């Protein structure tokens, strides 16, 4: 299963819905990626695909400084799952792959 491409995510948090774009690519045989949203672009860490289960970690500074752990299930061009920030309750994550596969222009 290929998860490569650009994904539009919506994360339903206690402070409201946050939209983000995740770009996933294979480089040197490993799955890598970046996430953009809330005015910052951050690298993904520990990106792993096991069957249809995709996991990754990332750190953000906006709207709060948090370390996030994502665990989603990919089904074709959709993903559903959760994001956790430490001991805070899990937030629901939904995503859809961009049809053109093109993410935002990054410097």
Residue 106 pLDDT level (bands cut at 50, 70, 90)? very low
pLDDT attached to residue 101:
55
pTM value? 0.88
Instruction: Please state, in angstroms and as integers, the Cα–Cα distance from residue 74 to each residue in 1, 29, 55, 88, following that order.
Output: 9, 20, 10, 24
Q: Is the pLDDT of residue 102 over 80?
A: no
pLDDT tens for residues 70-81? 999 999 999 999
Average pLDDT of 80-90? Answer: 93
Does domain 5-97 match CATH 2.40.128.120? yes
pLDDT tens for residues 20-72? 999 999 989 899 999 998 788 999 999 999 999 999 999 988 877 889 999 99
pLDDT attached to residue 1:
67
């Amino acid at each position: 299963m290929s998860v490569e491409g650009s994904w539009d995510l919506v994360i339903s948090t206690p402070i409201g819905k946050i939209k983000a774009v995740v770009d996933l690519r294979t480089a040197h045989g490993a799955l890598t990626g970046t996430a953009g949203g809330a005015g910052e672009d951050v690298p993904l860490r520990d990106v792993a695909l096991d069957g249809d289960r995709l996991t990754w970690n990332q750190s953000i500074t906006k709207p709060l400084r948090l370390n996030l752990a994502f665990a989603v299930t990919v089904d074709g061009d959709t993903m559903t799952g959760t994001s956790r920030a430490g001991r805070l309750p899990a937030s629901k994550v939904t995503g859809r792959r961009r049809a053109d596969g093109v993410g935002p222009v990054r410097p």
